[in-house]
Amino acid sequence: MSPVQKTYGLVSLLLLGGYAYLLYELTTGRHHPEQTVCLFKTVTGVACPSCGTTRGLMFLLQGDWWQATLMNPLAWLLAAGMILLPAWFFWDGIRRTTSFYHFYLRTEQMLRRHKPLAFLLAVLITCNWCWNIWKGN
């Protein structure tokens, strides 16, 4: 299996898992904003940087954008990815191209070359983590 196939396969598997979990949450009605499925938080008792992202996505689906942002701003990125990536993969399939894979490689190279940008992103994730811990996510 080529690196291109592995990348598309892994991202597709993650997307399918995410959709399956969202479908489960939406159809069972067991979603509660105070519940978490975070393994890191379950083991350590401390919120991880992405704690609340799934709950934030659920708030987005319910139209409560402010609560979604307060829960975890990363929910917006997750929602964008869950909408745009399947369309991108479909477009690549129709055109028989690998533009997503090349975008991924260029992004990775850019972050390696531009250390201040990588540092800024790390600081933003750290701030998000502090926000999660402070609010008791």
Decide which of 78 and 27 is more confident: 78
pLDDT tens string 4-14: 999 999 999 99
Q: Are 94 and 82 in contact (CB under 8 A)?
A: no
Decide which of 83 and 40 is more confident: 83
Q: Label residue 50 exposed, middle or buried (CB < 10 Å: 0-12, 13-18, 19+).
A: buried
Model pTM?
0.83
Residue 31's pLDDT band (cuts 50, 70, 90): low
d(CA 93, CA 111): 27
Chain CA centroid to CA 46, Å? 19
pLDDT tens string 78-110: 999 999 999 999 999 999 999 999 999 999 999
Across the range 55-62, mean pLDDT stands at 90
d(CA 137, CA 134): 8
